[in-house]
Amino acid sequence: MSFLKGIAASNGISIAKAYHLVEPNLSFEKKTIENPTKEIERFQNALNRSTTDLESIRDHAKENLGEDKAAIFDAHLLVLNDPELTNPIEDMIKTEKVNAEHALKEIAERFVSMFEAMENEYMKERAADIRDVTKRILAHLLNVQLPNPSMISEEVVIVAEDLTPSDTAQLNRKYVKGFTTDIGGRTSHSAIMARSLEIPAVVGTRTATKEIENGDLVIVDGLKGEVHINPTQEAVEQYKKEYEAYEIQKAEWAKLVNEKTVTADGYRVELAANIGTPKDLKGVLDNGGEAVGLYRTEFLYMGRDHLPTEEEQFESYKAVLEGIKEKPVVVRTLDIGGDKELPYLQLPKEMNPFLGFRAIRLCLEEQDIFRTQLRALLRASVFGNLKIMFPMIATIDEFREAKRLLKEEKEKLTNEGVKVADNIEVGIMVEIPSTAIIADAFAKEVDFFSIGTNDLIQYTMAADRMNERVSYLYQPYSPSILRLVKMVIDAAHKEGKWAGMCGEMAGDETAIPILLGLGLDEFSMSATSILKARSQILQLEKTEMEKLARRVLEMSTTEEVIQAVNEAVNGDKKTS
């Protein structure tokens, strides 16, 4: 048995066989061939096998993930059987006497460049389809296996270098019992998705893909951040017991599902949930969420090959507003970029994507995309209690411009006779230190703040949230972060506005006592953290936490802060 240490990313324990989600090596050399007829046969054979693959992936996706996720595979089948692509490949094999791999790559690249150069968005998207299909045919020519996460049909633990949000969206909860990755941190999007899907996960192990073989028995301990490879029978038994103890604890928390969140001395706060799709609403209601504090709309744009239409978006927003039954829903406008890519937008590669053309920066430039989303939101606003929030705001001008576009779209809709709610609150995420520092100026113009600590910490500490090598710098309890949080909350309250937090810190048991003391109004977290947080808050006294907050703001290190919280909450003088 061997053992890996990583970052505990999603609570729970799972025991299952490893499934490697790793891109195989598809490199090859150009060769001259003797017998073109035989080579063409080999190519056609690869085409047939790719068709069979794609048909069964499509049918499986339809059944397990829905029509919309399956549509992408229909598009791939069309490309695969298009003679405009296959005929020139066969011609090249015949006339130039080259191997099928080379001919495929040459011709496919010509088409990819041609489609990428087109103005029309739809045609541009075809380039991504051709790339995917080429990869599949090539894998068959080289006799290597491509991973197909949507085809998994037995209980597994996924082992990957990293999981993109769209990989994660394709995972079927029924079979995927846990996952572990080489890279990533607690706030990387794969970790956030794992929490919303309630899949135990350990990320940032550095070597999981090297140490774990396909089919190894693996225990993922998402509570301690440990992965055990081919454990002994005793270890499996021990983990089964721990799993049961965890389930008993969860059953205790579950009793609080209909309780209000009120401290022991009678101070009320709101516990909200972060969601990525309307499907997550069930988890919010099952876990006693009092609102949706962050709806990450970018997931609507992922795992597909073209932009969602206004109508599709309208349906999703309406479903969330209606599904949560009058409770507030804070919808964040498109936050793409960083570790969230949209292949079909084909944005140029950047040296520093987390500091680049993302979120509101992209939306203010690509106004068609932004306006479509704003219209869909405004139309949905009459179906519930909608609040709109702009991500990654760095300057007041950005906020004013976004608000201007919102106003314009609202006027257009009203002129068209479409009903729009007139009490929609408009706020911003505070994720960039510049915004926290002048929160007093922002507070005069926004209706609310939601502090996005996942990014605020990485930008304040200059430590990439995805990079496990600098994860020691990713310090939510650093006095520097706490002071920024205080500036934001105080600025909001001075103007009679509310301040929430939707970064992962809002659900963290060491941070919660301090945040309560600082006066945070709304705590938005993974739905699965809500009941545990409620159980903790019911036992705390706001007045005591205010004293704690005052003390920690004067401290110099994270360790001192942790120690002070432990003393205040558990009366613990020794632990750190």
Nearer to Mg ion, 409 or 455 (CB): 455
CB of 165 to ligand PEP, least distance (A): 10
147: left (phi over 0), alpha (psi -120 to 50) or beta: beta
Both tokens of 549, joined, read 């907050």
Binds ligand PEP (CB under 6 A): choice among 296, 327, 375, 497? 296
- 311-320 in b/e burial notation, b at 16+ Cβ within 10 A? eebbebbbbb
Nearer to ligand PEP, 80 or 428 (CB): 428
CA distance 164 to 188: 9
CA distance 502 to 439: 17
For the question of residue 502 being annotated catalytic, the response is yes
Both tokens of 571, joined, read 């009366």
DSSP 81: T
CB of 267 to ligand PEP, least distance (A): 24
Q: Which of these segments, 125-133, 243-251, 454-462, 491-499, binds Mg ion (CB under 5 A)?
A: 454-462
Report whether 531 contacts 289 (CB < 8 A): no
Interaction between residue 468 and ligand PEP (CB under 6 A): no
CB of 227 to ligand PEP, least distance (A): 24
Instruction: Say how many residues make up the chain.
Output: 576
Considering only residues 118 to 157 of the shown chain, the ones binding ligand PEP according to CB under 6 A are none
Over its C-alpha atoms, the chain yields an Rg (Å, rounded) of: 25
Give Cα 227 distance to the centre of its chain.
22
Catalytic residue, chosen from 102, 140, 228, 502, is 502
Interaction between residue 280 and ligand PEP (CB under 6 A): no
Q: Which of these segments, 108-116, 196-204, 252-260, 453-461, binds ligand PEP (CB under 6 A)?
A: 453-461
Considering only residues 320 to 379 of the shown chain, the ones binding ligand PEP according to CB under 6 A are 335
Q: Outline where DSSP puts E strands in 234-322.
A: 270-275, 292-296
Residue 277 φ/ψ, nearest 5 degrees: -150, 165
Q: Which does 296 bind (CB under 5 to 8 A by kind): ligand PEP, Mg ion, none?
A: ligand PEP
Q: Which of these segments, 201-209, 305-313, 447-455, 540-548, binds ligand PEP (CB under 6 A)?
A: 447-455
**CB neighbour list of residue 267: distance below 8 Å, 6 or more residues apart:** 516, 542
Interaction between residue 454 and ligand PEP (CB under 6 A): yes
CA distance 2 to 307: 45
For the question of residue 189 being annotated catalytic, the response is yes
CB of 22 to Mg ion, least distance (A): 28
Q: Which of these segments, 157-165, 372-380, 415-423, 451-459, binds ligand PEP (CB under 6 A)?
A: 451-459
Catalytic residue, chosen from 60, 102, 189, 228, is 189
* Angle value at C-alpha 66, between 60 and 67, nearest 5 degrees: 95
CB of 430 to ligand PEP, least distance (A): 9
Nearer to Mg ion, 378 or 525 (CB): 525
Residue 498, strand partner residues: 448
Catalytic residue ranges: 189, 502
**Which residues of this protein are in contact with Mg ion, per CB under 5 A?**
431, 452, 455
**Which residues of this protein are in contact with ligand PEP, per CB under 6 A?**
187, 294, 296, 335, 431, 452-455, 502-503
